[in-house]
Structure 1
Amino acid sequence: MPASQHLEADPLVIKSTQTVLSVDDMPIESVLSGVDRKILVDHPVDHDEAVILSLGYKQEFRREFSLFTTFGVSFSVLGLLPSIASTLWYSLAYAGNAGITWGYLIGMVGVMAVACSMAEISSAFPTSGGLYYATAMLAPPKYKALLSWIVGWSNYFVQVTGAPSVGYGCASMILALNQITHPDYVFENWHCYLLTVALTFLGAIIASAPTKWIAYINSGSTILNLVFLFISFVVMLGGNNRTEQGLSKFNSNSIAWGIDNQTDWPDGICILLTFMAVIWTMSGFDSPFHLAEECSNAQVATPRAIVMTASIGGILGFVFQLGMAYTIVSVEDAVNDELGQPYIAYLNQIMTQERVLAIGSFAVVLAFTMSFSCMIAASRVLFSYSRDNCFPLSRYWAKVNTITRTPVNAVWANWFIGVLLCLLMFGGVAIDAIFSVGAIGSFISFTVPTLLRITYARKTFIPGPWNLGKFSYACGTLACSFVLLMIPVLNFPQYRGADNTPDLMNWTVVVYWGSMLLAVLWFFVYAHKIYSGPKSNLEKGTVVSGNEATQVIEAVVSSNHDVHFGPDDDAALEKIPEKADYPEN
């Protein structure tokens, strides 16, 4: 049963100012579409509010993000420098320099296809729960609840593992730098755990701040990202001490672009395995989608921010890693160094200790900003999904704090879950699974609505003002093909056969697929009774049928009060008596 049919209007209350918004006259497909619903609001609405109301949701956030500040959050979530540093285990350690040069470029082709397809979807459904909302709107009615449930949980697994994985990477770099200055220091897992908990705790405090504060903070962190990345790149190329070691200033092309297969798989599979690094690094481009309800001109700014994040991040990431490939002394030594952090070990190969500490500190600072940016996006996901009763205790996570006007409860719920996830580091290599979850979970949730858009909903999809036009199907097909290829590959371990010991196992199979299995079982056992897909949270009495809306309009006009019409609601004008004298909006 459509969610709109659950809405029963209370006796009509006439306000001194009444805005009448016709959902069917908005170029949007939503849970309220197709049943002649009108939304009554006691204040004039702009286009952004008209869109979110038509999608079935109240405007609960302040729209204080612009294109630049939305890009700022997503670029901070992308966190190029700390992301590259944290995922060298999957690029440099698998295929050598090829993993960070031409392997990265090939992976970026697939990533950009996914990003552009998602941007088109975000323009049509600019809500913080957009991925799973779009899935429900584009899926066959019989399967919309199940598919949106799977997409929602898959995306949530990505979001909830983002901050702890970044926090873990940040803590690892701090401890590696400490080992450089204190050679006698003995690294213990509990040191890393407590430091990770402390860093994410501070990040949760920042993520709980008002939207305007968050916008300012992330604008600053975006500038820091660009400045620190540039300084690190310049020092890496111009300030390295390779010549003092009797080496040439830079590696030859054959070394910089050469493959050094350090897996038990053929070279082709080896390169595919390195895509985990680029997929995880670039997965933050979905953040603007989750901030759509806090962004002005969301139908245009949100997709633009997604494409800007993926393209700018992809280009800068390639250039930076290209510099690494031309300056690294030994891939094997960087990967196997006792510091336990390939990026810091790489810096230690080509720089003095003072420069290592300085450049390494840049990555630490950016990793911290990345962690709280991840928390911001994750809290919006938990909030939006909880509006539709997707999670246990949803009523608590769907609350907006009255002071900050942000979902503070959701922030701290995610932090607590992250603290528990970090216990995986006591299981050795199992902690790596939270990186793999971020890669596989994100691209599954990103691509399901795209697959539906180019198949079942090919003729019914209503594109937003930002769309791919005639390239939509080609881009969507490439995106879906890339993800279909990568789903099994992301579950492969580095070694196989007798070499694949429990300590070296790829635990994604257990952590991600085990979690998804539990989520799906829960749906069939109980959740299907309380969850039927996205539903409107508009108050009773604000959503009425066409006849009731006409009565309200006539009553307001006869009382000499103001009637406003929502953007694109020209059809409502035809229902007003000709003698009425009303102000147009």
Structure 2
Amino acid sequence: MVESGKGSGNDDVKAGGIGRAAGGASVTAPGATGTRVHDHNGGAEASNTSADDLLAAMGYKAELVRTRSTWHVAFMSFVLASIPYGLATTLYYPLQGGGPVVVIWGWLMVSLIILCVAASLGEITSVYPTAGGVYYQTFMLAPASWRRVAAYVCGWAFVVGNITITLAVQFGTTLFFVACVNVFESEPGVGVWQAETYQVFLTFLAITLFSNAVSAYGNRVLHHLDTFAVVWTFAGLIAIMVTILALAKGGRRSAGYVFGHFEPTSGWPAGWSFCVGLLHAAYATSSTGMIVSMCEEVESPATQVPRAMVITVITNTIGGLLFLVPLMFVLPDLAELVALPSGQPVPTIIKSAVGSSGATIALLLPLMVLAILCGIACTTAASRCTWAFARDGAIPGSRYWKRVDPARDVPVNAMMLSLAVQIVLGAIYFGSSTAFNAFSGVGVITLTLSYAAPIAVSMLEGRTQVKEGKFYLGNSLGWFCNIVAVGWSLLAVPLFCMPSYIPVTVTTVNYAPVVFVAFIAISSAWYYAWGRKNYRGPPTEQFVAGHAIGVSHTSTDSDRVE
């Protein structure tokens, strides 16, 4: 018989001779005699076996193969954000929101905020390193009286965020590719490919299918692609930076212009226009917590994933500045860029600086390759979080979506569900030329909310449980980072539901609130139809090798597992 208290994961649980204290304490599990995961004062790295034992102690059977090291995780996290590609596809928004000031200072400001988010999530992930990520963490941290609802809402936000941000990446890649092709002109000002709506959609479909195929069939070599992407990215950044600053055929702006010029053209009041322009930086950094879904494919997730998140944010901040500052120095007329039908100013900026279509496409090639790699990484992360949520029965048809293909070590069914949702939502483009704004907006909103959920719950509980982790920030710094992270989420929801400019028409309206509300309606309907009676959150008891491992997580604080 196993006594369970609140089910927070901090209590030592003894079941079948197995002891566990969440994240920070030693674990000895069946079949792993003498193999231990030491606490944060011990300093020893967990072996693959120990990581699987800890996963079992949290109630799950290891179904995915652990092949990624700290740097593999950091590289994948870097590719999920894909600086500078992520900044290139959304540069239109800060240019319209106010120009160079929003581009440079908006990026720096949001990056510092996201560093607080990454550190806050890292603390919690070091205690609860599972593919369920923020969903599982919210359940474990919340009081028993409302943990099911809190975890359910957070889980849906996380899944929706992963899927829609992946959709935004694939659609952004499509629009970016069209703009890149059109650096070649049939006559001055007229690109060679005036893509029809159906052509844009078919290109998006091809890119999305390709990303899913690579993710499904090439899982065991994806970490090599991520490593290649990092080298490729910085080589491309150096080439772009040196070339456009050296040639600058359209002239060079002054430092005062680059770091101080503010010219809002969105129609919003100046202050709000600056804020709306932050979608650029928020979109590029929104993938920060997606890497948590890879915890069950990492050798020592309690230490490697938190470190990777923080390292990636710092690296991305530097890489973003290396990309954005040179572009602002060679920026053409701002009104001309904002008026571009493609909504993709980067190809035009680079072409004005180098003066040649051939040279332009050569400099854009690193971004185009990185765009594909980013789509593959996002597809992989989205499939893992969908699978993890389905594993606990929280998605309609969970029995099907939670299956893992044993030949590929990939949750293919969950990946196909994510793919189907992306294709359906991609059809919005037939009705609105600003569909990309909706996809990126929903992705940023839902991911930001999902990241804030476990952080907010941890704060309400006095941050007591994160002290057990291997990535503890300390009291003062921890509270500071938590407050900044939650405050950012409160701003992001209304901010990214706004249209990027006014006045608004039927074709330029921001559909992010519509898609967001639709997902809320679907998840709420499923909860009331099925979840209230059947959904119990993460497993209350798991049997591994004939031993019962786990903590009872039910609606009271004094339950027992017999």
Give the TM interval when normalised to the shorter protein.
0.7 to 0.9
Change (3 A) 1:460 1:481: same
Change (3 A) 1:22 1:462: farther
Gapped regions of structure 1 (runs ≥ 5) = 6-18, 547-585
TM-score w.r.t. length of structure 1: 0.83
Distance of 1:289 and 1:154 partners within structure 2 = 14
Distance of 2:492 and 2:3 partners within structure 1 = 35
**Alpha-carbon offset, residue 80 of structure 1:** 0.9
Partner residue, 1:376: 380
Change (3 A) 1:271 1:544: same
| Residues 57 and 549, structure 2, Cα contact 8 Å, conserved in 1 | no
Tell me whether 1:519 sits opposite 2:523 in the alignment.
yes
Change (3 A) 1:186 1:254: closer
Distance of 2:242 and 2:72 partners within structure 1 = 27
Per-residue CA shift, 1:266-312, capped at 9, x if unaligned? 22212211221111101122233111111112111110001011111
Partner residue, 2:235: 227
**Alpha-carbon offset, residue 39 of structure 1:** 5.8
Tell me whether 1:152 sits opposite 2:155 in the alignment.
yes
Which secondary structure state, in structure 2, belongs to the residue aligned with residue 544 of structure 1? Answer: strand
Per-residue CA shift, 1:109-131, capped at 9, x if unaligned? 22211111011111111111110
Distance of 1:221 and 1:501 partners within structure 2 = 39
Partner residue, 1:483: 489
**Alpha-carbon offset, residue 223 of structure 1:** 1.9
Change (3 A) 1:21 1:284: farther
Tell me whether 1:409 sits opposite 2:405 in the alignment.
no
Partner residue, 1:22: 18
Change (3 A) 1:25 1:369: closer
| Residues 70 and 288, structure 1, Cα contact 8 Å, conserved in 2 | yes
Distance of 2:318 and 2:258 partners within structure 1 = 21
| Residues 154 and 444, structure 1, Cα contact 8 Å, conserved in 2 | yes
Change (3 A) 1:57 1:300: same
Tell me whether 1:434 sits opposite 2:439 in the alignment.
yes
Which secondary structure state, in structure 2, belongs to the residue aligned with residue 502 of structure 1? Answer: coil
| Residues 396 and 526, structure 2, Cα contact 8 Å, conserved in 1 | no
Superposition pairs for residues 338-487 of structure 1, below 5 Å?
Answer: 338-351=341-354, 352-428=356-432, 429-470=434-475, 471-487=477-493
Which secondary structure state, in structure 1, belongs to the residue aligned with residue 548 of structure 2? Answer: strand
Per-residue CA shift, 1:509-555, capped at 9, x if unaligned? 11113322331233123222221211158347633389xxxxxxxxx
Change (3 A) 1:374 1:458: same
**Alpha-carbon offset, residue 441 of structure 1:** 0.9
Which secondary structure state, in structure 1, belongs to the residue aligned with residue 248 of structure 2? Answer: coil
**Alpha-carbon offset, residue 386 of structure 1:** 1.0
| Residues 91 and 99, structure 1, Cα contact 8 Å, conserved in 2 | yes
Superposition pairs for residues 12-411 of structure 1, below 5 Å?
Answer: 22-25=18-21, 27=23, 40-41=30-31, 46-183=49-186, 184-209=192-217, 211-242=219-250, 247=251, 249-351=252-354, 352-411=356-415
Distance of 1:47 and 1:541 partners within structure 2 = 15
Which secondary structure state, in structure 1, belongs to the residue aligned with residue 92 of structure 2? Answer: coil
Per-residue CA shift, 1:114-173, capped at 9, x if unaligned? 111011111111111110000001112121111111111111111112332212122212
The number of residues matched between the two structures is 519
| Residues 138 and 457, structure 1, Cα contact 8 Å, conserved in 2 | no
**Alpha-carbon offset, residue 383 of structure 1:** 1.1
Which secondary structure state, in structure 2, belongs to the residue aligned with residue 185 of structure 1? Answer: coil
**Alpha-carbon offset, residue 229 of structure 1:** 2.1
Distance of 1:489 and 1:27 partners within structure 2 = 36
**Alpha-carbon offset, residue 339 of structure 1:** 4.4
**Alpha-carbon offset, residue 455 of structure 1:** 1.3
| Residues 179 and 344, structure 2, Cα contact 8 Å, conserved in 1 | yes
Letter in 2 for 1:147: A
Tell which deviates more after alignment, 217-226 or 308-317: 217-226
Letter in 2 for 1:349: S
Distance of 2:67 and 2:159 partners within structure 1 = 24
Change (3 A) 1:237 1:170: same
Letter in 2 for 1:240: A
| Residues 23 and 128, structure 2, Cα contact 8 Å, conserved in 1 | no
**Alpha-carbon offset, residue 479 of structure 1:** 1.3
Distance of 2:277 and 2:450 partners within structure 1 = 21
Per-residue CA shift, 1:352-403, capped at 9, x if unaligned? 2112111222221111110011001001101111110111221222112111
Letter in 1 for 2:70: L
Partner residue, 1:544: 548
Tell me whether 1:531 sits opposite 2:535 in the alignment.
yes
Change (3 A) 1:422 1:537: farther
Distance of 2:144 and 2:501 partners within structure 1 = 43
**Alpha-carbon offset, residue 340 of structure 1:** 4.0
Which secondary structure state, in structure 2, belongs to the residue aligned with residue 208 of structure 1? Answer: helix
Gapped regions of structure 2 (runs ≥ 5) = 6-14, 36-48, 187-191, 551-562
Q: Taking every aligned residue pair, what percent have the same amino acid on both sides?
A: 23
**Alpha-carbon offset, residue 28 of structure 1:** 5.7
| Residues 51 and 299, structure 2, Cα contact 8 Å, conserved in 1 | yes
| Residues 101 and 322, structure 1, Cα contact 8 Å, conserved in 2 | yes
Per-residue CA shift, 1:483-527, capped at 9, x if unaligned? 21232122222345xx22222222211111332233123312322
| C-alpha RMSD of matched pairs (Å) | 2.6
Which secondary structure state, in structure 1, belongs to the residue aligned with residue 277 of structure 2? Answer: helix
| Residues 89 and 342, structure 1, Cα contact 8 Å, conserved in 2 | yes
Distance of 2:22 and 2:463 partners within structure 1 = 20
Distance of 1:313 and 1:110 partners within structure 2 = 13
**Alpha-carbon offset, residue 450 of structure 1:** 0.4
Partner residue, 1:15: none
**Alpha-carbon offset, residue 230 of structure 1:** 2.2
Letter in 1 for 2:194: V
Partner residue, 2:508: 504
Which secondary structure state, in structure 1, belongs to the residue aligned with residue 278 of structure 2? Answer: helix
Distance of 1:531 and 1:373 partners within structure 2 = 30
Per-residue CA shift, 1:404-437, capped at 9, x if unaligned? 1121222222122211121111122234200101
| Residues 282 and 314, structure 1, Cα contact 8 Å, conserved in 2 | no
| Residues 59 and 293, structure 1, Cα contact 8 Å, conserved in 2 | yes
Change (3 A) 1:25 1:154: closer
Per-residue CA shift, 1:299-344, capped at 9, x if unaligned? 1111000101111112211231111111112122122124442111
Change (3 A) 1:314 1:537: farther
- Compare CA radii of gyration and give the structure with the larger one: 1
Distance of 1:227 and 1:325 partners within structure 2 = 20
Partner residue, 1:567: none
| Residues 58 and 537, structure 1, Cα contact 8 Å, conserved in 2 | no
Distance of 1:255 and 1:136 partners within structure 2 = 46
Distance of 1:185 and 1:318 partners within structure 2 = 31
Change (3 A) 1:300 1:182: same
